[in-house]
Chains A and B, each alone.
Chain A
Amino acid sequence: MTHRHVVVVGAGPAGLAAAEAALGAGARVTLIDSADRPGGQYHRMLPEAYDAARPEVLQHGWQAFDRRRRRVLAHSRCAWWSETSVWALERPDPGHPGPPRVHVLRGPADGGGRRRTTLDPDALVLAVGAHDRVLPFPGWELPGVFTAGAAQALAKGERVVVGDRVVVAGTGPFLLPVAASLLEAGSQVLEVLEANTPRTVARGWSRRPWELAAQVGKGGELAEYTALLLRHRVPYRLGRTVIEARGDGRVEEAVTARLRADWSVVPGSEHTVAVDAVCVTHGFSPQLELPVAAGCALRTTPGGEFVAVDDDQATSCPGVYAAGEITGIAGAPAARAEGALAGWTAAGGHRGTAALRALRRSRDQGRAFAERLARAHPIGAAWPAWLRPETVVCRCEEADYASIRRAAADRASTATRVAKLETRAGLGPCQARVCGPTVAELNARLSDEPAGRPVEGLPAPVPHRRPIAQPIRLGELAAAPEPPFADPAPQTP
């Protein structure tokens, strides 16, 4: 029994595993998720109203997940805080090492009666996951163009069909489960387009993907998806993508084109397909606002920025651990291994335990997988050539490519924050979660300003800096929080 209080943010595969391991090490756990039920994006549970008779048909590892979920939620030392958002992390004073104070709002986000409270845990595990990364292209703002994640959520979570004639495009193995979900939900998937060329994909994987993937339990899944596509006669094409969506008020046509290795379009290869939905994914962006708010150092990889962690999933910030997609996009098995390591260590569990070796091995295989994934499915440097001056880059604020270019070309307004205030790109409701990496990349390419020197008091202008991590109503903010409690009485779910 360690008697430590561990707060776990995120109840997807990583967070649930972290909670379970922390409980196993004797800690008290508060498990927080903004959804009403655990599972995260991976095990998206159907709302009760739509309860499916057999959710396992669309779900991998459903039974294991279900057992773990029941074990964790029913545990006497676990408090399950569903529909709870962490809106801020407050770093302690210098010289007081420890995790930040966790500021939460409890209650449905669209309801009026959310309660504001705080937690002062002994350790904090961040397992908040990732969201789709989508590159802009002309027409991507049209209704009927979905992120693959949103399409899958609609298909899996609500059983809503996004369209009858759908093209799935982008890059990465996520294309396959998305296409599978759409097929299961009754859509006709016209084709699945992987933007990277066969050569890039093959070189990235080095070997046949399923052989490597089998080591982390992915191979079976991919094989099933592939079989499903074959059964439905859905073509899977490499080196091709959707470069434009057209339609009057909603998408009616997708223009696809063959791509070179750098994603430049092969002239004359354009092809127009009649569709009523397009689903796109270009990988995932980790949700970094909470790690950044906590003060965790990031590491830059070819696949983007992620939270830097050590062998025990500890971040650079004392008492803060990270697991799952925020440390690298490696899939659910790796996320579970990371979560278990993080939860165990956060709870103060003995670090020499034999079981940890297996977890570390599984985690390391996951990381190797993530690296190959990033290498096999990179984002080609020439994608901005798809853009036209009037192409919307930030959908929330309707900032177009021309405005981004103009701000970058004016030496007086190239600073990230100045350009953002001028173009308004990234200032809308999604707070740059969608366009942030895109705008940052475009700015870096378009402007030749030297990098700024670090300034005391001025944080680096990273796109994931969102001190207010979730919207909070003025009235909620004005109310005094219920007093912090370091040791919440466990609640039964």
Chain B
Amino acid sequence: MYGTRVAVLGAGIIGAACARELALAGLEVTVVERGAAASATTAHGEGNVLVSDKGPGPELELARISRALWPEVLARVAERSAHAAQAVEWEPKGGIVVATTDAGARELTRFAADQRAAGVRAEVMDADELAKAEPHVTREHTAALLYPEDAQVQPAGAAAALLGDALAAGARLRTGCEVLGAVTRGGRITAVRTSTGPVEADWFVDTAGPWAGELSARLGAPVDVRPRRGDVLVTTPLPPTVFHKVYDADYVGAVGSSAEDLQTSAVVESTRGGSVLIGSSRRRVGFDDRLRPEVLSAVAAKALRLFPTLAGVPVTRAYGGFRPYVPDHLPVIGADPRLEGLWHAGGHEGAGIGLSVGTGRLLRNLMLGEPAVMDATHFRVDRPAVLGEGAHLPVSEETA
């Protein structure tokens, strides 16, 4: 495989993780990026590395593989650059899921039982244990579960660390370079036309995140990946107040839903800088980047239900981003059966930061014909949700 040229199209965290695996495997990697590395979806998320929000199934399996890989990957990053590893802000702090209604408690208990059967650690907390772990959380809860495996990273730092490894292993990065179309020969993609000239390679990987639908359409092999907007509030730095990633049991329902309209649930956590990050919202509004105060308001109200004592804390910033959404909520990882030489790695919705390292590893396995870390059939490109009707429509359909 030495000398095989791969062009990774998109330098978000998925592109960075794929480029890293492929460059370390000895392939000749070029990362092509329209804007600047890690500046879009990757830099506008919360940095979730979660197993707690996933029910048994292929996504949970990829999450567990990724969770196991992270410490190994970061150890290698640290060998190259202690500074880069530190900038990842890896915090294996654990997640706590809190239900505030009886129905929520029943659902959470059932969900956790299924997860345990799949190997996830999910520990029931009584009121005292919860109060000790999170002194400021509401007393008005009906159930709480601790997921010790949940972790958090500073997502842009994590992507920079993965990309840094790839560059150190010989990968090249071309920023400000927009892919315009494919050059094909005999049903095979041999180059992409870009704003700064053609890029030739043997393989191409579409890692354009929420723009994967648009990019794949430009390449002539559309996949149905759409943007799903999220908003995050950032408070002024506080003394230690929130110690885990604490979220409301509704979150799992919101993650799994396909509703177009606004879904909100509380996800509250501290960062190393002391600010508290508060999410989350899910809306399918195309690439509409306008701030919606009523969305921020709904997120704030949910967060206060979990942490009533935060009411007086000033929010100094808000940011929004677009998750890459696939109608069946599963990532797309594998070769495109319609265009030889084209691969896809994307559609992780809100879980891409955590799933990035597992995705990179799995893609490498598939490309190089190695024994795969898991069965990738569920992520295949030729499934109805990916090649469905949305795949042929312009991505902006939802903004109409």
A residues contacting B by CB (< 8 A) are 88, 90-91, 94, 103, 112, 293, 397, 406, 410-418, 421-422, 424, 427-429, 431, 449-453, 455-459, 461, 466-468, 471-475, 477-481
Q: How far is the CA of A452 from the CA of B175 in the complex (A)?
A: 7
Whether the Cβ atoms of B39 and A477 lie closer than 8 Å is no
B296 interfacial by beta-carbon distance below 8 Å: yes
Whether the Cβ atoms of B304 and A468 lie closer than 8 Å is no
Whether the Cβ atoms of B36 and A418 lie closer than 8 Å is yes
Q: How far is the CA of A456 from the CA of B396 in the complex (A)?
A: 10
For B293, the chain A residues whose CB sits under 8 A away are 88, 90, 103, 477, 481
Q: How far is the CA of A459 from the CA of B291 in the complex (A)?
A: 12
Q: How far is the CA of A449 from the CA of B177 in the complex (A)?
A: 11
Query: Shortest distance in angstroms between B77's beta carbon and chain A's nearest beta carbon?
Result: 11
Interface 0/1 of B304-334, CB less than 8 Å to A: 1000001111111111101000000000000
B residues contacting A by CB (< 8 A) are 16, 34-40, 43-44, 83-84, 87, 154, 156-157, 159-161, 163-164, 167, 173, 175-178, 195-196, 210-211, 214, 227, 233, 235-237, 273, 275, 278, 286-293, 296-297, 300-301, 303-304, 310-320, 322, 396, 399
Q: How far is the CA of A406 from the CA of B82 in the complex (A)?
A: 13
Q: Please report whether the interface of chain B is mostly helix, strand, loop or mixed according to DSSP.
A: mixed
For A478, the chain B residues whose CB sits under 8 A away are 297, 300-301, 303-304, 311
Q: Of A90, A412, A450, which is in contact with the most chain B CB atoms at under 10 Å from its CB?
A: A412
Whether the Cβ atoms of B322 and A457 lie closer than 8 Å is yes
Query: Given A414-B36, A459-B289, A406–B83 Cβ distance below 8 Å?
Result: yes
Query: Given A449-B176, A451-B176, A467–B314 Cβ distance below 8 Å?
Result: no
Whether the Cβ atoms of B314 and A471 lie closer than 8 Å is yes
Whether the Cβ atoms of A412 and B37 lie closer than 8 Å is yes
Q: Of B35, B87, B315, which is in contact with the most chain A CB atoms at under 10 Å from its CB?
A: B35
Query: Shortest distance in angstroms between B264's beta carbon and chain A's nearest beta carbon?
Result: 11
Query: Shortest distance in angstroms between B275's beta carbon and chain A's nearest beta carbon?
Result: 8
A410's partner among B164, B237, B297, B311 (CB-CB below 8 A) is: B164
Q: How far is the CA of A449 from the CA of B36 in the complex (A)?
A: 8
Query: Given A467-B318, A468-B316, A474–B161 Cβ distance below 8 Å?
Result: no
Could you write out 28 A-B pairs with CB less than 8 Å apart?
A412-B37, A412-B164, A412-B173, A413-B37, A414-B175, A415-B36, A415-B37, A417-B156, A418-B157, A422-B87, A428-B237, A431-B316, A431-B317, A449-B175, A450-B175, A451-B176, A453-B35, A453-B176, A457-B289, A458-B39, A471-B315, A472-B314, A473-B312, A473-B313, A474-B303, A477-B293, A477-B297, A479-B297
For A473, the chain B residues whose CB sits under 8 A away are 311-315
For A421, the chain B residues whose CB sits under 8 A away are 43, 154, 156-157
For B87, the chain A residues whose CB sits under 8 A away are 413, 422
Q: How far is the CA of A90 from the CA of B296 in the complex (A)?
A: 12
Query: Shortest distance in angstroms between B296's beta carbon and chain A's nearest beta carbon?
Result: 6
For A466, the chain B residues whose CB sits under 8 A away are 317
Q: How far is the CA of A418 from the CA of B83 in the complex (A)?
A: 14
Q: Please report whether the interface of chain A is mostly helix, strand, loop or mixed according to DSSP.
A: loop
For A450, the chain B residues whose CB sits under 8 A away are 175-177, 196
A418's partner among B37, B301, B319 (CB-CB below 8 A) is: B37
For B156, the chain A residues whose CB sits under 8 A away are 413, 415, 417-418, 421-422
Query: Shortest distance in angstroms between A287's beta carbon and chain B's nearest beta carbon?
Result: 16
A461's partner among B37, B38, B39 (CB-CB below 8 A) is: B39
Whether the Cβ atoms of B316 and A457 lie closer than 8 Å is no
Query: Shortest distance in angstroms between A426's beta carbon and chain B's nearest beta carbon?
Result: 10
Whether the Cβ atoms of B227 and A457 lie closer than 8 Å is yes
Q: How far is the CA of A415 from the CA of B38 in the complex (A)?
A: 7
Query: Given A406-B83, A412-B160, A90–B315 Cβ distance below 8 Å?
Result: no
Extra inter-chain contacts (8) besides given A453-B35, A455-B211, CB under 8 Å: A90-B290, A412-B161, A415-B43, A449-B176, A453-B34, A467-B319, A468-B291, A474-B313
Query: Shortest distance in angstroms between A99's beta carbon and chain B's nearest beta carbon?
Result: 14
The 8 A-B residue pairs with the shortest CB-CB distance in the complex, in nearest-first order: A457-B287, A475-B311, A415-B36, A450-B176, A452-B35, A415-B39, A471-B314, A412-B163
Query: Given A413-B156, A449-B175, A474-B304, A468–B37 Cβ distance below 8 Å?
Result: no
For A477, the chain B residues whose CB sits under 8 A away are 233, 293, 296-297, 300, 315
For A431, the chain B residues whose CB sits under 8 A away are 316-317
Q: How far is the CA of A94 from the CA of B298 in the complex (A)?
A: 23
Query: Shortest distance in angstroms between A368's beta carbon and chain B's nearest beta carbon?
Result: 37
Query: Shortest distance in angstroms between A289's beta carbon and chain B's nearest beta carbon?
Result: 11
B167's partner among A94, A411, A415, A479 (CB-CB below 8 A) is: A411
Across the interface, name the chain A residue whose C-beta is closest to B40: A458
For A459, the chain B residues whose CB sits under 8 A away are 289
Q: How far is the CA of A418 from the CA of B39 in the complex (A)?
A: 6
Whether the Cβ atoms of A417 and B43 lie closer than 8 Å is yes
Whether the Cβ atoms of A453 and B315 lie closer than 8 Å is no
Across the interface, name the chain B residue whose C-beta is closest to A413: B160
For B233, the chain A residues whose CB sits under 8 A away are 474, 477
